[in-house]
């Protein structure tokens, strides 16, 4: 898309409401960063919580 924007004079990277490619990229980067931070926090907490649960064992039939 950036190559087309550079080669074609009438080709512009803009959304329907007029946001520029830079603003869209910044918004996408902020969203990706927030997702990364939540993933880095949520997964370790989830794993620790699951490790605290007692393991369910099957009764032995001896």
- Tens place of pLDDT per residue across the chain (62 aa): 667 667 777 766 666 777 777 887 888 899 999 999 989 999 889 888 888 877 776 666 65
Residue 50 has a pLDDT of 86
**In a domain? residue 62:** no
Nearest to 38 by CA among 30, 26, 27: 30
pTM given for the model = 0.48
**In a domain? residue 53:** yes
Structural domain range at position 2? 1-57
Residue 51 has a pLDDT of 86
Contact (Cβ atoms closer than 8 angstroms) between residue 4 and residue 11 = yes
How many domains are there within the chain?
Answer: 1
């Amino acid at each position: 898309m950036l190559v087309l924007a550079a080669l074609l004079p009438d080709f512009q990277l803009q959304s329907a409401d007029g946001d520029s490619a830079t603003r869209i990229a910044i918004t996408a980067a902020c969203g990706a960063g927030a997702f990364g931070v939540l993933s880095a926090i949520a997964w370790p907490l989830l794993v620790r919580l699951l490790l605290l649960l007692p393991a369910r064992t099957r009764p032995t039939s001896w």
